[in-house]
Amino acid sequence: MDITLGSALLLSLALLGGCASQESDEALAQAAASFQSVKENTNVLRSAPKDVIRAGESLARADRLSSYWGSDEDVLHYAYLSQRYSEIATQHSELNLNHERAAKLDLERERLQLALREAKLLSVQQLGSQIDEQTINLAASETDRGLVMTLGDVLFDAGRADLNSSANRTLLKLVQFLQINPRRTVRIEGYSDSRGDPKENLELSRARAQAVADMLVDLGIDAKRIAVQGYGEAHPLAENASKQGRAQNRRVEILFSDDKGRLAPSR
């Protein structure tokens, strides 16, 4: 009876030992497969070399323990460590790749922004050329004082300094021209005909010039780039005897500086 009981106990221990040995063998095989995977992955080797080394060291220790007289717990322990180091190395590599991808995306985004700015600059330069031509064609002429753009009396209500709605399109083109040519400055000069009181004409001519300047500032032009001068009935373009002549004399002239910001002297 004792012999039978002892035989049964030995058989049970042998079966338990077989089960434990099978579990450790499977863990060892999984750890070996994981280590082989990370060892052959150049991205993992580059990103997490220390974790790959630890995975290999733990796997070698688990393998030695399974080949000699080592407990299954020790084999499972080191196989687990090897497996985890391989997983950590893989995760580390994925994080690095994600960071690299993010960095590449940032670079691509920056390149795109630069390309858009370059394209915008090119279009602005082309627009500037077009506006320059439009400005010259719009009652502007080259004089001994420089380029002068003339705004007629039709932009104002009779006897008033308030700009009417017909001035908006003209002034918008002027603003665009000044935005594209940031080094240019202007002097806005107001003139009147000879009818009425000379002092009042002088005040009205300056008020009209100032109204144009105020509109330019409201539209974003730096006030430091604008000078204002009123001349009243001085410097007429035509005889004041006729209605047409007086209409020509009631005007606002915009004198443009050169591309270095230098304006011709005041009259």
- Within 13 Å, how many C-alpha atoms sit on residue 126's CB side? 6
Binned at pLDDT 50, 70 and 90, residue 117 comes out as low
- What predicted TM-score, i.e. pTM, was given to this entire model? 0.50
Residues 145 and 234 in one domain: yes
Residues 83 and 167 in one domain: no
Q: Which domain holds residue 230?
A: 139-256
Residues 148 and 233 in one domain: yes
Residues 161 and 97 in one domain: no
Q: In what order do the strands lie in the sheet with 140-143?
A: 140-143, 146-152, 251-256, 186-191, 226-230
Residues 232 and 163 in one domain: yes
On the question of pLDDT at 104 being above 90, the answer is no
Average pLDDT, the chain: 80
The answer as to whether 181 is a domain residue is: yes
Binned at pLDDT 50, 70 and 90, residue 192 comes out as very high
Residues, the chain, total? 267
Place of tokens 């790749």: 97
* Interhelix angle 167-180/72-137, nearest 10 degrees: 120
Query: What are the strands, taking DSSP E only, across 54-208?
Result: 140-143, 146-152, 186-191
On the question of pLDDT at 214 being above 80, the answer is yes
Residue 137's pLDDT is 47
- Of all residues in the chain, the percent with pLDDT exceeding 70 is 78
On the question of pLDDT at 20 being above 60, the answer is no
Give the number of domains in the chain: 2
55-96 pLDDT, tens per residue?
Answer: 889 898 888 888 877 688 888 889 899 999 999 989 988 888
Q: For 102-126, what is the mean pLDDT?
A: 62
Residues 234 and 173 in one domain: yes
